[in-house]
Amino acid sequence: MAFLSGCDLAQVYRRAKADGYALIANNFAEPNVLLGILAAYEGAKSDLLLQVSMGAAKFAGGGKPLPGLRALVRYVQALAAEVRIGVFVNLDHVTPDHVGDFIRPALAEGLCASVMIDASALPFEENVAATKRVVELARPYGALVEGELGKIKGVEDEIASDEAFYTDPDEAAEYVERTGVDLLAISVGTQHGVSTGRDLTLRTDLARAIDARLREEGMERPLVLHGASGLSAEQVRALVAAGVCKVNKDTTYQYVYARAAADFFRANRAAILPPEGTTFDPITFEPSGRDWKPDKKLFDPREVGKVVQAAIRAVAAEMIDQVGSGGKSLYA
């Protein structure tokens, strides 16, 4: 199944909302995380939502976000053509100052099915105006738009907030009505980064109230949960039952990547690092001190890459299970 558009993604959300499951929105910035995630989703027959933040695009583009996004998306497109699940890309946390240089060209070049405009740091009226502009921009391309109301504590790429502000249901209804957003990101106590679900004051009741309020007004929307890393399976399931349809996960993958690589390098230290008191020149392959050679079977980056991919695949499969999207692909 090829890389798909916003209209197809809207259908996936409709089915998810009707059947009471959610999609994980999987952040990635490089191939090992992508390949591990893709393998998990193909195996589980779940549609796959990937997301790229501006920071990730900038990293992939050697400092240039738009070329980085193009490179990542072309990689995704080539792989998506080989699997029988729907594959979608969302632009994550784009601030209003990057509408012209990131969102607009990404839409025009068909690089995403949806985009999140994050104007949540602005006062309500300015958030409405900035979000509405992106909704109008995205409509002709059939791309979906996610807006955020409330504030999520923690740091995500270039977005940082020291405080959390819970979303108000009445304001949420007004915001959706006035902006016409397709998805609504709410703040119900989660935090970006390394935060343990046990330490959070999660307001599942508030998610339910926002969902109910939007339904009452005939404006039901998939609700989006940011900062979902660190939550328990029960917490995720309760929030999905309360109306959350998109569950954002980034930090979990970052940790799983680093941990798998650290374990691999620790276990294979002697094959990669010269013994104490010896140096090894990477150009001439000349050791100084003792005679020593590294082991190419272990320092080839594909070896650690395979280990990272397997670890990412395992954790992605577990999270698919938590949100219930396995076996639900519209395209399998």
User: Does 8 help bind ligand G3H (rule: CB under 6 A)?
Assistant: no
Mutual angle of helices 233-241 and 301-323, in 10-degree steps: 50
Distance between alpha carbon 310 and the CA centroid of its chain, in Å? Answer: 19
Q: Of 58, 203, 221, 226, which one interacts with ligand G3H (CB under 6 A)?
A: 226
Considering the complex, what minimum distance in angstroms separates the CB of residue 250 from ligand G3H? 4
323 close to 24: Cβ distance less than 8 angstroms: yes
106-114, 246-254, 300-308, 320-328 -> range binding ligand G3H (CB under 6 A): 246-254
Tokens of 85: 């699940």
User: Does 228 help bind ligand G3H (rule: CB under 6 A)?
Assistant: yes
170 close to 160: Cβ distance less than 8 angstroms: no
Residue with nearest beta carbon to Zn ion: 226
| From the list ligand G3H, Zn ion, none, partner contacted by residue 8 (C-beta under 5 to 8 A by kind) | none
User: Does 249 help bind ligand G3H (rule: CB under 6 A)?
Assistant: yes
Q: What are phi and psi of 218, to 5 degrees?
A: 70, 30
User: Does 248 help bind ligand G3H (rule: CB under 6 A)?
Assistant: yes
Closer to ligand G3H by Cβ: residue 248 or 268:
248
User: Does 118 help bind ligand G3H (rule: CB under 6 A)?
Assistant: no
Site string for ligand G3H, 125-164 (x = CB under 6 A): -------------------------------x--------
103-111, 128-136, 207-215, 223-231 -> range binding ligand G3H (CB under 6 A): 223-231
List, in order, residues 6 or more apart from 314 with CB less than 8 Å away: 40
- Residue 158: CB atoms within 10 A of its CB come to 14
| Residue reference for tokens 């900062």 | 227
Pick from 179, 139, 178, 181: which is nearest to 7 by CA?
139
3 close to 87: Cβ distance less than 8 angstroms: yes
* DSSP single-letter state for residue 61: T
Q: Of 93, 132, 221, 328, which one interacts with ligand G3H (CB under 6 A)?
A: 93
Closer to Zn ion by Cβ: residue 155 or 212:
155
55-63, 155-163, 175-183, 205-213 -> range binding Zn ion (CB under 5 A): 155-163
Closer to ligand G3H by Cβ: residue 143 or 225:
225
Closer to Zn ion by Cβ: residue 127 or 248:
248
CA 73/CA 76 separation, integer angstroms = 5
Q: Of 26, 27, 161, 179, which one interacts with ligand G3H (CB under 6 A)?
A: 27
34-42, 212-220, 234-242, 247-255 -> range binding ligand G3H (CB under 6 A): 247-255
User: Does 246 help bind Zn ion (rule: CB under 5 A)?
Assistant: no
Stretch 223-242 residues interacting with Zn ion (CB under 5 A): 226
CA 113/CA 88 separation, integer angstroms = 6
Closer to ligand G3H by Cβ: residue 44 or 228:
228
What is 228-284 written as a DSSP string? -TT--HHHHHHHHHTTEEEEEE-HHHHHHHHHHHHHHHHHTHHHHSPPTT-EE-TTT
List, in order, residues 6 or more apart from 38 with CB less than 8 Å away: 48, 79, 83, 87
Residues with catalytic roles: 92
Q: Which residues bind ligand G3H (CB under 6 A)?
A: 27, 92-93, 156, 192-193, 226-229, 248-252
Q: Which residues bind Zn ion (CB under 5 A)?
A: 156, 226, 248
